[in-house]
Chain A
């Protein structure tokens, strides 16, 4: 709630604010989907300011434990906008993405990604 996340795809939005975390009483973490409201957008993009969208968290500054016992953390909080089915709205994803997305079945985002951390 109220967390402002960066958008790392080319869907048009720049910043979104989380309004609901689907799944998880304590909030969404790396790899989870959230419902967000677009706060800042590029002038001509697919999404406009004020629109309510779904997003998948791809970068989180909070460390997430991996199954081998290590922990990963990223530089800031970022999201990739998706539709209700989980398909990304944009056509490109910038920056690194974690391979936790594979387990969450967000394969399309992984294929678009530049670098998988």
Chain B
């Protein structure tokens, strides 16, 4: 039994699932489900199809280089069965999986950080402009405690430098 990777979307194909297509040059393509198989038949390039792992890795959306990937390399030599080895491997798989997924989500979080800062800035500006929709101007003038506090947004140096040419 071997867990293959779908050729199109790179998800694991478990036993009992999917179709294996053998081309005449003896290259074998594994597909996890008919969606991937049909896309393959349409001759679509997985590197251009947004939802595949190939696209995400190519465009830097997902983590590409990490030491945890080394554990998952394909090994062609069958190991002699050893109960201790099997037990330790199962424990290790769980741990490595957790580490890898934590690192991957960290990578995505980092990637989305700059967008968050941008959105906060825009939201603050919008609130300042449209404060009359939130609270009547008269009420604001009368009671200064209702004034919105200044939101401090930490903007990194590189960002401000980038914005300069646009403001020209």
Task: Tell me the A residues contacting B by CB distance below 8 Å.
Answer: 59, 63, 68-76, 95-96, 98, 114-115, 117
Whether B22 lies near A70 (C-beta < 8 A) is no
Give 1 or 0 for each of B43-79: 1 = CB within 8 Å of chain A CB: 0000000000000000000000000000000000000
Q: Spell out B's residues near A (CB within 8 Å).
A: 1, 13, 15-26, 28
Identify which of A70, A75, A95 contacts B20 (C-beta below 8 A).
A70
Asked whether B15 lies within 8 Å of A69 as measured between CB atoms, the reply is: yes
- Name the residue of chain B whose CB is nearest to the CB of A98: B22
Q: List 29 A-B contacts (CB under 8 A).
A: A59-B24, A63-B19, A68-B15, A68-B16, A69-B15, A69-B16, A69-B17, A70-B13, A70-B16, A70-B17, A70-B20, A71-B18, A71-B19, A71-B20, A72-B20, A72-B21, A72-B22, A73-B19, A73-B21, A74-B22, A75-B22, A75-B23, A75-B24, A95-B24, A96-B22, A96-B24, A98-B22, A115-B26, A117-B26
CA distance A72 to B1 in the complex (A): 15
Q: Is the interface of B mostly helix, strand, loop or mixed?
A: loop
Check if A95 sits within 8 Å of B15, measured CB to CB: no
Contact call A73/B22, Cβ cutoff below 8 A: yes
Q: Which residues of A contact B13 (CB under 8 A)?
A: 70
A95 cross-chain contacts in B, Cβ below 8 A: 24-26
Task: With A75-B22, A75-B23 given, name 10 new contacts (CB 8 A).
Answer: A63-B19, A68-B15, A69-B17, A72-B21, A72-B22, A73-B19, A73-B20, A74-B24, A75-B24, A117-B22
Closest chain-B Cβ to A2's Cβ sits at a distance in Å of 23
Contact partner of A96 (CB less than 8 A), chosen from B17, B18, B26, is: B26
C-alpha spacing A76/B25, complex, angstroms = 12
Measured in the bound complex, the distance between the Cα atoms of B60 and A65 in whole Å is 38
> Complex Cα distance A100/B67, Å?
39
Kindly report which residue of chain B lies nearest to residue A6, judged by CB atoms. B24
- Contact assessment for A70 and B26 in the assembled complex, using a CB-CB cutoff below 8 Å: no
B24 touching A76, Cβ below 8 Å: yes
In the complex, A71→B136 CA distance in Å?
Answer: 68
A110 to chain B, nearest CB (A): 14
A72 CA / B22 CA spacing, docked (Å): 7
- Report how far A70 CA is from B21 CA in the complex, Å: 11
